[in-house]
Structure 1
Amino acid sequence: MKLKIYAGEEVRELRRTLGLNQSEFWAHFQVTQSGGSRYESGREIPDSVQVLLNIAFGTDTKAAAIFDEFRQFGRPKKKTRAAGGST
């Protein structure tokens, strides 16, 4: 699945629109204020945080697709027996 890649400036504007300071905003993503500040200043935002940003700010359809992908990953694949018996 293709995720939207959020840039720091874009996230800063989302945060400001919500009327939150950096500590309040980034705590929801398990990121410290200083880490969030670095992201907002242009440091690359890690993939794990990008996933959370997509869930929080993307569409319901996008969030559902992300959850479905994780659920599929967490389900063990059924093992099939090899044809021809045992060795």
Structure 2
Amino acid sequence: MKLKIYTGEEVRELRRNLGLNQSEFWTLFQTTQSGGSRYESGREIPDPVQVLLNIAFATETKAAAIFDEFRQFGRPKRKSKVTAGEAK
């Protein structure tokens, strides 16, 4: 699944629209205020944080699809058993 790649400027605007300071906002993403400040200033936002941003700010459908993809990853496929009489 293709994720939106958020820029620092976009995230800063989202945060301000929510009326949150950096500490309040970035704590939700398991990121320090200083780390969030660096991201908002243009440093690349790491992939795990990008995933969380997509879950938080994407549509319900996209967020559900992200969760479903992770759930499928966590459920290894079982090897099918070949029964007598089945051709290999």
Q: Which 4+ residue blocks in structure 1 deviate beyond 3 angstroms?
A: none
C-alpha separation in 2, matches of 1:11 and 1:35: 13
What secondary structure sits across from 1:45 in the alignment?
A: coil
TM-score under structure 1 normalisation? 0.90
RMSD: 1.1
Matched, 1:61 2:61: yes
Which stretches in structure 2 are left out of the alignment for 5+ residues?
Answer: 83-88
Residue in structure 2 matched with residue 8 of structure 1 by the alignment: 8
Q: CA deviation at 1:80?
A: 3.8
Q: Which residue number in structure 2 is paired with residue 85 of structure 1?
A: none
Alignment of 1:1-87 (within 5 A): 1-80=1-80
Unaligned segments of structure 1, at least 5 residues: 83-87
> Per-residue displacement from partner, 1:27-54 (whole Å, max 9, x unpaired)?
0000000000000000000110000000
> Given residue 62 of structure 1, which amino acid in structure 2 is its aligned partner?
K
TM-score w.r.t. the length of structure 2 is 0.89
CA distance in 1, matches of 2:33, 2:8: 13
Alpha-carbon distance in 1 for matches of 2:17, 2:35? 20
What percent of counterpart residues are identical?
A: 85
